[in-house]
Amino acid sequence: MATLLFSFGGLFQVSVLLVNAIAVLSEDRFLARIGWGNAQQAEPSFGGGSADGASVKAKTINLINSVRTLMRIPLIFLNVLIIIWAVAFG
């Protein structure tokens, strides 16, 4: 475990674990309770404003929603590969 962070494979595993942690956050159970739900974020309409003036909280909510949407299927394959690698090579 001590060498987990000191190799490229370990760094890859840690990054996949962090993306997994973001991807499994439940909007109804956790994010909405702390005020980070999708309903709290007011998105501008087309041409209604730029995202440059958005707060850090709005950008973080947008990042969480993007990770949950875009990384769902790739994370399944990455997790399967990591499990197979861990079983095969210890």
Q: State pLDDT tens for residues 15-24.
A: 999 999 888 8
3-class DSSP assignment, residue 44:
coil
Is pTM beyond 0.95 here?
no
84 with 15: CB under 8 angstroms? Answer: no
User: Which structure tokens are listed for 33?
Assistant: 């309770």
E strand intervals along the chain:
none
Reported as a pLDDT band with limits 50, 70 and 90, residue 33 is: confident
